[in-house]
Amino acid sequence: MTDDLARAGARWDDDPSAGEWILPLLGEFGPTLGHAVPQAYAAYAVVPLPRDDEGNVDLDAVPARLDALVDTLAPWTAESPLHGTLWEGWPSLYDRGGGVGSSGTAIMLAWDPDGPEPAAEEIAEARRAADEDLLARLVARPSADRLLLPHRGYHVWTGEPRSVAALMGLVDLPSHVWPEHREWFLGMPIYTAEAALGGPADLVSAVLADARLGARAAGPGTELDIDD
């Protein structure tokens, strides 16, 4: 059972105070960049997430894109720890003590329809083993208060630069990421196909110039590709 985010180089915060500065700087809730990134930066960019041959977000390729982005941001991150949020609704999160049933995932058992139906004891044991296996893959929610932003609640974490991509494999995309000194801010609304970035002009210029990212210049009113 995973009780924290250590595998991703992160930990849950004891309270949401690290992110409380965000709320008064957000624009109206909706599809625009300004609802995902505080409107307090000199420049903005949008970084598309990689897509597969069918045009869907390629979840296997997203961590590499995020690692490349964090690498480009490194000169403006320095030694600052990163703060971030995870949307409370990701199915990989479960209530501590609540078991698999308190997460957004479920177990489905099946057997060969042409063979004999398993005995009740066999089904119960298979379900117990499946629940145990699934629970080992989930992450327990923190007991701390959530960060409440318009129409969404978030759990707040602190971690290393590698956490941004590592959390994708452990839970899902972080919704917000920023260094402690707030030099830049990354917003990734739930069900997004794009990441929104705010920062100083030279930082955004570096992101736009990085061929690995395919970024485009944007502003607070730019609409993001969000399937919500």
What are the extents of the domains in the chain?
A: 6-93+139-218, 104-135
Contact 41, 175 (CB under 8 A): no
Distance CA 107, CA 88 (A): 21
Instruction: Name residue, tokens 């000199």.
Output: 42
Distance CA 157, CA 19 (A): 10
What pLDDT, on a 0 to 100 scale, did the predictor assign at position 224?
95
Residues of the chain with pLDDT under 70: 1-3, 97-112, 119-120, 122-137, 228
pTM: 0.85
CB atoms closer than 10 angstroms to residue 141? 19
Cα–Cα nearest to 184, from 89, 42, 58: 42
